[in-house]
């Protein structure tokens, strides 16, 4: 299994030590580095800035928010970064959720799967660059119907370095995962757990079986962020993860529509999810954090002693994952790479 590095979300500013960590990743032979965005820093600017000091790692977005840019703008950025990196760019995109899409980007959220399908179709048409681009669709028609009536089909002035820039989709629910297998070159899962492997294999198989599917499981990339926290005390190791898990389960999205909460409910934590949500939404964040079970943390992360992590890694290696994306301080990367190597 390959190793990648996820730079994570920014808080008040850039993540501390990220430049050193990326340099260390190249030295250690990591396969890729990835950037993220939600409603703060964007994912393209840091990737170009940090990626300029690299020469071997792939440079990926995990994930670029679909509603933040038109498909043409995303295709332009992909072609640009692919040229600048000499063919190392990987485009990871996702539909996000209604809280961010409607509250931050001011776009309508309904029909995310149909929007994703059209978005990818337009990007691929632009990258192919064989004819001026037209697209008849509900969400991204080209040229724009109405307006001045002066719009015309155009072809990129830039020749793409590669016509087939890899496109990976972020997806959590089974329908979205099946769509990903059908139209994308890879899947970027969130909160993946080995115990959910069979569930996701079934969803992926449905997509691979559809007419026109691009890939099979054998040539399909599945990089997943997995926290790796070596520590002799499992409870203390889990404490590092509880705040972020409580945030995603309890505070991301509404109680009636939280895809992360639904994911953990499918894993068998319905009662715990309900309790965490109630506490978090009522303003009791500390109690919500404390309510995250250690077993839940262990389902989605590698925490505990080095021996425990090495033992559990065998289970992760038997899943559909092709790359483990980790996030760590630079000084810990050699230790983690040794554990996972």
| Paired strand residues for 301 | 227
What's the alpha-carbon Rg for the chain, to the nearest Å?
20
The confidence band for 328, taking pLDDT boundaries of 50, 70 and 90, is confident
Return left, alpha or beta for 16; rule: phi > 0 is left, psi -120 to 50 is alpha, else beta. beta
Alpha carbon distance 228, 51 (integer Å)? 23
Residue 222 confidence (pLDDT) above 90: yes
Q: Could you give the angle at which helices 174-183 and 112-128 cross, rounded to 10 degrees?
A: 10
* Contact predicate 105/97, CB 8 Å: no
pLDDT digits (tens, 9 = 90+) for 43-84: 999 999 999 999 999 999 999 999 999 999 999 999 999 999
Residue 255 confidence (pLDDT) above 80: no
Alpha carbon distance 165, 86 (integer Å)? 12
73 CB contacts (<8 Å, ≥6 apart)?
none
The confidence band for 9, taking pLDDT boundaries of 50, 70 and 90, is very high
* Contact predicate 251/280, CB 8 Å: yes
The confidence band for 330, taking pLDDT boundaries of 50, 70 and 90, is confident
Of residues 58, 70, 72, 80, the one with CA closest to residue 3:
58
**C-alpha distances out from residue 248 to 26, 242, 252, Å:** 31, 10, 5
Mean pLDDT of the chain, nearest integer: 95
Name the token pair of 241: 């993860």
Q: Could you give the angle at which helices 18-28 and 44-51 cross, rounded to 10 degrees?
A: 60
Other CB atoms closer than 10 Å to residue 112's CB: what's the count?
A: 23
Q: How far apart are the first and last CA of the chain?
A: 8
The confidence band for 273, taking pLDDT boundaries of 50, 70 and 90, is very high
Residue 33 confidence (pLDDT) above 90: yes
- Say what the pLDDT of residue 278 is: 94
pLDDT digits (tens, 9 = 90+) for 284-309: 999 999 999 999 999 999 999 999 99
pLDDT digits (tens, 9 = 90+) for 173-216: 999 999 999 999 999 999 999 999 999 999 999 999 999 999 99
Indicate the range of 107-116, 232-241, 248-257, 292-301 predicted with least confidence.
Answer: 248-257
- How distant is the alpha carbon of residue 155 from its chain centre? 29
99 CB contacts (<8 Å, ≥6 apart)?
252, 253, 254
SS3 content of the chain, % helix, strand, coil (to 5): 45, 15, 40
User: Over the range 10-23, which residues count as b (16 or more CB within 10 Å of their CB) and which as e?
Assistant: beeeebeebeebbe
The confidence band for 256, taking pLDDT boundaries of 50, 70 and 90, is confident
pLDDT digits (tens, 9 = 90+) for 180-191: 999 999 999 999
pLDDT digits (tens, 9 = 90+) for 120-171: 999 999 999 999 999 999 999 999 999 999 999 999 999 999 989 999 999 9
The confidence band for 329, taking pLDDT boundaries of 50, 70 and 90, is confident
pTM of this prediction?
A: 0.95
């Amino acid at each position: 299994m390959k190793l990648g590095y996820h730079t994570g979300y920014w808080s008040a500013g850039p993540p501390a030590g990220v430049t050193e960590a990326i340099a260390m990743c190249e030295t250690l032979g990591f396969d890729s580095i990835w950037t993220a965005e939600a409603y703060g820093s964007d994912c393209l600017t840091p990737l170009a800035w940090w990626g300029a000091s690299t020469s071997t790692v792939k440079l990926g977005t995990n994930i670029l928010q679909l509603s933040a840019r038109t498909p043409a703008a995303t295709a332009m950025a992909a072609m640009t970064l692919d040229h600048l990196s000499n063919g190392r760019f990987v485009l990871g995109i996702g539909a996000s959720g209604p809280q961010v899409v409607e509250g931050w980007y001011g776009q309508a959220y309904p029909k995310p799967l149909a929007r994703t399908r059209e978005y990818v179709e337009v990007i691929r048409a632009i990258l192919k660059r064989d004819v001026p681009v037209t697209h008849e669709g509900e969400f991204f028609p080209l040229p724009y119907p109405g307006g001045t009536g002066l719009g015309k089909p155009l072809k990129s002035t830039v020749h793409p370095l590669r016509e087939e820039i890899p496109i990976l989709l972020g997806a959590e629910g089974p329908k979205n995962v099946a769509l990903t297998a059908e139209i994308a070159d890879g899947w970027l899962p969130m909160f993946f757990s080995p115990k959910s492997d069979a569930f996701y294999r079934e969803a992926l198989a449905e997509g691979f079986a559809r007419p026109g599917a691009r890939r099979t499981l054998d040539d399909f990339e599945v990089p997943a962020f997995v926290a790796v926290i070596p520590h002799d005390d499992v409870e203390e190791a889990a404490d590092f993860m509880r705040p972020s898990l409580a945030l995603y389960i309890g505070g991301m999205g509404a109680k009636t529509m939280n895809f992360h909460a639904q994911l953990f409910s499918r894993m068998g934590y319905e009662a715990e999810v309900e309790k965490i949500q109630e506490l978090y939404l009522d303003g009791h964040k500390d109690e919500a954090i404390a309510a995250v079970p250690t077993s839940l943390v262990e389902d989605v992360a590698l925490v505990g002693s080095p021996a425990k992590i090495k033992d559990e890694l065998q289970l992760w290696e038997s899943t559909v994952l092709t790359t483990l994306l980790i996030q760590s301080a630079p000084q810990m990367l050699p230790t983690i790479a040794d554990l996972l190597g």
